[in-house]
Structure 1
Amino acid sequence: MAQATGTRIGWRDLPTGVRQRIEGIVGGPVVAAVSQTGGFSPGTADRVVTADGRRAFVKAVTPALNERSAELAREEARISAALPEHAPTPRVLGSFDDGDWVVLVLEDVEGVPPRTPWVESEIDAAVAALAELADALTPAPLPVPAVTDHLAEGFGGWRRLAADPPADLDPWAAAHLPALIAAAEHGLAALSDGDTLAHCDIRADNILVRPDGRLVIVDWPWAATAPPWLDRVLLALNIIVHGGDPERVIADLDRRNVVGVMAGFAGFFRDISRLPPPPSLPSVRSFQRWQADELLPWLRRHL
């Protein structure tokens, strides 16, 4: 299994002035910081503790590490600040952008990622959390792009693969490229109607399970307006690639729409995995290729 990870800096790598501003938000000098693994940003992802026991989760990145990561951090700070308090998301304690560093300080949620392969109880809890999110975030509480703006190019992956097929393209996929192209086009069209603020990056490493079993959805840079069912399909996608029963999530959804979105993401992952990795994100292409490879058996059964 490929891991989603960047080459992260840590709390002590931040400039002194940036750390001091963060400590002003948290409410005291930080005496301990534990870096968190997972995700693709090269910036910090630290659980910090102050001298008097206050806790927070700190995310900080500079364009010098990766320009796109800084852009996404700015968007995440904007979106996170607009999420309603009753939604199952972390509270924002503060943020700032000094031009060199983009910083977001969140509550430190007590929890751990769901187990993978996925277990039924956590699948059901995730479905419940996504339903709660859809209720809280319809209509979207702030202006964001439509998800089709994010995905239009990516969902053309199978068409690009057909025009320039790699030597190691899966034989079944190579024999069914017209069907995969058509399914991805249908999936993109199905996503064009919706005013829910969808997370758009639902994966096990973007979810925390609290001790009471309730789930919190974290990491919001990709949020966009979409149909309320999109995040459920992305949950099912993650269950497919990690193992578990995706039918607990998608059994009541329009199957043609589900297959179309799965085909679109599979083509996107397989096509983009051919590119060189971006700066400070060495594993992203292998992770994308792994997801494409894991989706193909499901598509063979359902296309």
Structure 2
Amino acid sequence: MGETTRTRIGWTDLPEHVRAGVERIIGDRVVAAQSQSGGWSPGSADRVRTAGGRRAFVKAVSPAQNDRSPGMHRAEARNAAALPASAPAPRLWGCHDDGEWVALVFDDVAGRHPATPWSGPELDAVLTALEAMATALTPAPVAHAPTAAERLGYDFAGWHRIAADPPERLDPWARAHLDELRAGADRGVAALAGDTLCHCDLRADNLLIGADGGVSVVDWPWACRGPAWLDTVLLLVNVRLHGGHDTEALLRTRPMTADADPADVTGVLVGLAGFFVDAARYPAPAGIPGLRAFQQAQADALLPWLAARLG
């Protein structure tokens, strides 16, 4: 399942006043723009070049593309502006917000998304970068960030909603273990305590690998304060989805997860699976037609893993 949107607008689709606002932030006239693939926002995502040769990355959206996306851009602007220089994230230059359109201007990172299925060297580089990031972002340097329990509490209650109204095509193993899954997800919420600033949306399409092998973590609207191992676990869900690696062995051997309570990790995985199963049954949000299929694919990857972990 490709992690991409097929309905993305581009630089030339933005209203003239939005483009002018972006150019004021950059300090020069944009003469070229290249739309970027990956991710789920139906808004623009362009690498731009100015008349004077400056380069930047611009993302912009309005409620016309998706009613929730402007709020996500505003949250990302607040989070990105507060990130310390030690975070492996592109620097925010500025934000244009006219009440309808929200446009963010970042450093243009010369990199590409990791290949999926994941290669061993790229996976090792990313996991090592996440470990360094967790160390650099503990204690959490963004005071306004919610806790991970606040961020994920509703999502992790998915198994409770499923038990009350089971989907017709609910996985048979999940249907037979709903009580255990509800209890596991509740354990997962309790396991989210911590004071590390977590990205909370780690997938291949939110990572860039440079020519020098350096890793940048992009798209920070969901940043929250949680356990240092959370982002590593979230990344391993993406690895599990694409296959080719022993995620159990990685949990046991990577520094961020080796010492984590296995029941806590299982609880978080249970909570995530409940979110994916619950969300996948609803109509696709405006402008993001492939999202529900992607959520179902993640549920399908997680449930056999959980069956093995829960015995």
| Alignment TM class, shorter chain as reference | over 0.9
Query: 1:280 — aligned with what?
Result: 287
1:242 positional shift: 1.2
Query: 1:234 — aligned with what?
Result: 234
What are the within-5 Å matches in structure 2 for residues 148-187 of structure 1?
148-187=149-188
> How has the CA–CA distance of structure 1 residues 279 and 222 changed in structure 2, closer, same or farther, with 3 Å as cutoff?
same
Query: 2:197 — aligned with what?
Result: 197
> How has the CA–CA distance of structure 1 residues 213 and 247 changed in structure 2, closer, same or farther, with 3 Å as cutoff?
farther
1:6 positional shift: 5.6
> Aligned AA for 1:87?
A
The answer to whether the 8 A contact 2:58-2:105 is kept is: yes
Unaligned runs of 5+ in 2: 253-257
Query: 1:40 — aligned with what?
Result: 40
1:51-106: CA deviation from partner (whole Å, max 9, x where unpaired)? 23211100111123222110010000010011111221101122121212111100
> Aligned AA for 2:281?
R
Task: Report the 3-state secondary structure (helix = DSSP H, G, I; strand = E; otherwise coil) of the residue aligned with 2:68.
Answer: helix
> Aligned AA for 1:224?
C
Looking at structure 2, the residues matched to 98 and 160 of structure 1 have their Cα atoms a distance apart, in angstroms, of 37
The answer to whether the 8 A contact 1:2-1:286 is kept is: no
Query: 2:255 — aligned with what?
Result: none
1:179 positional shift: 1.5
The answer to whether the 8 A contact 2:241-2:298 is kept is: yes
1:236 positional shift: 1.0
TM-score normalised by L of structure 2: 0.93
1:248 positional shift: 5.4
Query: 1:264 — aligned with what?
Result: 271
1:23-76: CA deviation from partner (whole Å, max 9, x where unpaired)? 222232212111112222121111111123211100111123222110010000
The answer to whether the 8 A contact 1:89-1:217 is kept is: yes
Looking at structure 1, the residues matched to 131 and 301 of structure 2 have their Cα atoms a distance apart, in angstroms, of 26
- Answering whether residue 79 of structure 2 is matched by residue 72 of structure 1, we say no
The answer to whether the 8 A contact 2:152-2:189 is kept is: yes
1:131-185: CA deviation from partner (whole Å, max 9, x where unpaired)? 2211222222221111111211211111221222222111111111122111111
Query: 1:94 — aligned with what?
Result: 94
The answer to whether the 8 A contact 1:45-1:57 is kept is: yes
How many residues are aligned here? 302
Looking at structure 2, the residues matched to 160 and 17 of structure 1 have their Cα atoms a distance apart, in angstroms, of 44
1:218-249: CA deviation from partner (whole Å, max 9, x where unpaired)? 00000011111110110111111111232454
Looking at structure 1, the residues matched to 86 and 157 of structure 2 have their Cα atoms a distance apart, in angstroms, of 37
The answer to whether the 8 A contact 2:18-2:96 is kept is: no
> How has the CA–CA distance of structure 1 residues 220 and 119 changed in structure 2, closer, same or farther, with 3 Å as cutoff?
same
Looking at structure 1, the residues matched to 304 and 98 of structure 2 have their Cα atoms a distance apart, in angstroms, of 47
The answer to whether the 8 A contact 2:110-2:210 is kept is: yes
Query: 1:31 — aligned with what?
Result: 31
Task: Report the 3-state secondary structure (helix = DSSP H, G, I; strand = E; otherwise coil) of the residue aligned with 1:235.
Answer: helix
Query: 2:128 — aligned with what?
Result: 128
Task: Report the 3-state secondary structure (helix = DSSP H, G, I; strand = E; otherwise coil) of the residue aligned with 1:152.
Answer: helix
> How has the CA–CA distance of structure 1 residues 108 and 248 changed in structure 2, closer, same or farther, with 3 Å as cutoff?
farther
The answer to whether the 8 A contact 2:70-2:100 is kept is: no
Question: Identity of counterpart residues, as a percentage?
Answer: 56
Unaligned runs of 5+ in 1: none
The answer to whether the 8 A contact 2:25-2:105 is kept is: yes
Looking at structure 2, the residues matched to 183 and 231 of structure 1 have their Cα atoms a distance apart, in angstroms, of 19
Looking at structure 1, the residues matched to 24 and 125 of structure 2 have their Cα atoms a distance apart, in angstroms, of 35
> Aligned AA for 2:306?
L
The answer to whether the 8 A contact 2:62-2:102 is kept is: yes
Task: Report the 3-state secondary structure (helix = DSSP H, G, I; strand = E; otherwise coil) of the residue aligned with 2:157.
Answer: helix
Query: 1:104 — aligned with what?
Result: 104
Looking at structure 2, the residues matched to 246 and 121 of structure 1 have their Cα atoms a distance apart, in angstroms, of 15
Looking at structure 1, the residues matched to 304 and 8 of structure 2 have their Cα atoms a distance apart, in angstroms, of 33
Task: Report the 3-state secondary structure (helix = DSSP H, G, I; strand = E; otherwise coil) of the residue aligned with 1:100.
Answer: coil
